[in-house]
Structure 1
């Protein structure tokens, strides 16, 4: 007999940090609502980013920057103070800094998000239930949304929210596969890395923060051999420091609009800071608050210019590495164990002794080959939903319920998060938040960005 359809006011598709933060904000609002959070993992609040169990896999922002409460920037600092005071995370004293400047392990941050959800549930007339399954199809009509799960069950919601989080390239099946993931070791799987010969050569594709995590994993697994890193521009993330405040020069001058104008002014401000003996990260950090405005007002041509010419440097300078991880990478580089080269990945072949990859080094036309005992895919996040070979994204595209966002980054939506269908119509029932809106705001993955989105979307959903 077919199981009856379960009903809810809001279906939150994805129970990582984005979905959990939205649930918290809905719980805090007056009224009584039934909220179902659909998440295949056993716990809410963790998702891909905060399911890490190794203490060495830390946030890349300090506690003062990572509050899940948009109304209290010190929320994580306050929670950590209590957590450490109660005996949690005894290793924190090794960083020798105030609690606000600590870089907590991502697993502990996931615990923080879970506790804030539990507290909101205890004080609310609304209910949140975790449905442990994966959504594989969605239908939307004028009155409701109907989500089909991988176990055949169906859920009906007055509204549905795509809070799917990020699709790490290392863990995401792709519609056009190069075979990279099938041959690669998971960047965060320390146990799998313990099976490698400790002195063997490991190859890494990509040089961003996922690569930093992979190097930490290798170190914790006892690997002591060479690490060869390849990325198109050969840029490493800078280390995150705690610079002093700097005047918000973009707030004072809204005439700075194009990527070229912005780049020139940021460089000028950084030179001014250095001339005064101030860390260049100080003026750069003031840009963060204006990224959404700058990106949304830019033309399609300007956005393409930014992605093509500025993005690699923006990523390496802005998405910076936590200090302890950066120290490890710097030490291995100085020892000659870690090398980084600018090269594009062109393919691979597996063998009994490991893997060989084909590369085109920057400035060269010939294809060269490099061999190692293991390969790690650290190429970052897959934002193009057309390339994500998962049932729900593919079905949403097939049904025309979504369309790619600007530059194929995530999906298109209006400023409130209401999704645009294939014909450009704004949905009254289907919404998105967090990483799926990368193309709308450029920076739509940081905790503070998602926290602000969660509060605004919760208010909209309760007033429609």
Structure 2
């Protein structure tokens, strides 16, 4: 079987869906095929969550999918709540703009914006179709791109876009596997967690936002036993607050051109804020809009130093936890049920008595030790290195030199406008990328606002190429 289209979008999560929305809004007639194995578009890994406790880690005012209207989600939520949707929102007791919606509800919002864009596109003959399959391989030609799907179907397009989204470590097969995922529970699988003894000990690898989600899942499953969390630095995400506005110091000072200079200046502004009785998160919140510029101007050595020495603290301060989830984690720590330990996971160990055993090395200690629990959860975050992802498309693209790893092996390399670079550094004419695969290019390339801006820019580029 074979189909053809103007644009092939590989991935139908937030990135692919937002690109389709922007393409449908453009003048002109075009056929768009979105290839996504999930039943629904617009959800992907992040927004397929079904539990109300799994919320966005940003409030509504920060999470608009429309780059031209920062209040878009706030407006949608206002109408949705007024119509009787999400009655639990009243429990947060804050204005709509400060609500932290469930991720599943955010998926509904994205889908509605797609439906509206489909209506706009239909007026000028543009269409989008969901092909439910996985892309196994891709070939580029002078005038087209051909996809080979897992079901044997072939799709041909004038352009193709890699909008593959994130590869969560807990759900991604690894090329060199430690066996961790085979032994571990899915962090978001509340049903599986209900099968545990409520008083049993649960082990968690990683202490970032995925760990916070896992703790929420355990709580909703009725788990009441000890939770032992192990991560290399033992850092927890800070709770997200709503600080007052702060001067956009990076917009005023273009001499800041490296991550080190940025951190030095950011610390100074945070100290100034604290001295004035203002939340230190206020200066930090001004930084996101400039991260891509500073990161792209840095040398590889400066980037490497940042990742090696600063990344854990950057992640814990910048990628903050939604308030209700942070309150739960703090309560469990105060009760003594949840303990965070700075330790590295080394290996799974044989376990004859049931449950699971892992070998760890605590920070500052030379010797390793074995820890036992009834269950294990892998909350080690996102796998950005495509060389480690044991999925057909990344492996095929790398093997045939159609893509190359991005800076510091984070995602893949591309030009500033998203054209993919091959193994020789040549920019593709018909293959593009957006969102999380460009992590190495921009450092922050996963947030809703990042994806929305990239989707608009890439849609305009593709629309202009179509002529």
Corresponding residue for residue 45 of structure 1: 42
Paired residues of 1:183 and 1:350 also in contact (CA < 8 A): no
Corresponding residue for residue 313 of structure 2: 313
The alignment's TM-score, normalised by the length of structure 1, stands at 0.99
Deviation at 1:260, TM superposition (A): 2.8
**Whole-Å separation in 2 of the counterparts to 1:248 and 1:151:** 50
Corresponding residue for residue 210 of structure 1: 210
**Whole-Å separation in 2 of the counterparts to 1:87 and 1:264:** 48
Paired residues of 1:64 and 1:100 also in contact (CA < 8 A): yes
- Does 197-206 or 243-252 show the bigger shift? 243-252
**Whole-Å separation in 1 of the counterparts to 2:38 and 2:7:** 19
**Whole-Å separation in 1 of the counterparts to 2:41 and 2:239:** 30
**Whole-Å separation in 2 of the counterparts to 1:434 and 1:311:** 20
Deviation at 1:253, TM superposition (A): 1.6
How far does the alpha carbon of each residue in 1:264-289 deviate from its partner, in whole angstroms, 9 at most, with x for none? 22111111101111000001111111
**Whole-Å separation in 1 of the counterparts to 2:17 and 2:253:** 37
Corresponding residue for residue 59 of structure 2: 62
Corresponding residue for residue 384 of structure 1: 385
Q: Report SS of the residue matched to 2:287.
A: helix
**Whole-Å separation in 2 of the counterparts to 1:458 and 1:165:** 17
Which of the residues 18, 29, 33 maps onto 1:32? 29
Q: Does 1:242 align with 2:242?
A: yes
How far does the alpha carbon of each residue in 1:371-413 deviate from its partner, in whole angstroms, 9 at most, with x for none? 1000000000000000000001111111110000000000000
Q: Report SS of the residue matched to 2:405.
A: coil
The alignment's TM-score, normalised by the length of structure 2, stands at 0.98
Q: Does 1:103 align with 2:103?
A: no
How far does the alpha carbon of each residue in 1:428-449 deviate from its partner, in whole angstroms, 9 at most, with x for none? 0000000000000000000000
Paired residues of 2:258 and 2:297 also in contact (CA < 8 A): no
Gaps of 5+ in 1: none
Corresponding residue for residue 418 of structure 1: 419
Deviation at 1:256, TM superposition (A): 2.1
What are the equivalent positions in structure 2 for 1:67-82 lying under 5 Å apart?
67-82=64-79
**Whole-Å separation in 2 of the counterparts to 1:411 and 1:231:** 27
Corresponding residue for residue 445 of structure 1: 446
Q: Does 1:368 align with 2:369?
A: yes
Paired residues of 2:258 and 2:295 also in contact (CA < 8 A): no
Q: Report SS of the residue matched to 1:123.
A: helix
Q: Does 1:356 align with 2:357?
A: yes
After TM superposition, what 4+ stretches of structure 1 lie above 4 angstroms from structure 2?
Answer: none
**Whole-Å separation in 2 of the counterparts to 1:76 and 1:434:** 20
- Does 251-260 or 404-413 show the bigger shift? 251-260
How far does the alpha carbon of each residue in 1:220-262 deviate from its partner, in whole angstroms, 9 at most, with x for none? 0000000000000000000000000001111222222333322
Closer, same or farther in 2 for the Cα pair 1:69/1:350, shift >3 Å? farther
Paired residues of 1:342 and 1:362 also in contact (CA < 8 A): yes
Closer, same or farther in 2 for the Cα pair 1:401/1:167, shift >3 Å? same
What are the equivalent positions in structure 2 for 1:58-457 lying under 5 Å apart?
58-124=55-121, 125-351=125-351, 352-457=353-458
Deviation at 1:350, TM superposition (A): 4.6
Indicate the RMSD between aligned Cα atoms, in angstroms: 0.7
Deviation at 1:177, TM superposition (A): 0.3
Deviation at 1:364, TM superposition (A): 1.1
Deviation at 1:369, TM superposition (A): 1.1
**Whole-Å separation in 1 of the counterparts to 2:47 and 2:287:** 26
Gaps of 5+ in 2: none
**Whole-Å separation in 1 of the counterparts to 2:137 and 2:318:** 36
Paired residues of 1:360 and 1:366 also in contact (CA < 8 A): yes
Paired residues of 1:295 and 1:303 also in contact (CA < 8 A): yes
How far does the alpha carbon of each residue in 1:18-57 deviate from its partner, in whole angstroms, 9 at most, with x for none? 0000000000000000000000000000000000000000
**Whole-Å separation in 2 of the counterparts to 1:266 and 1:335:** 35
Paired residues of 1:274 and 1:280 also in contact (CA < 8 A): yes
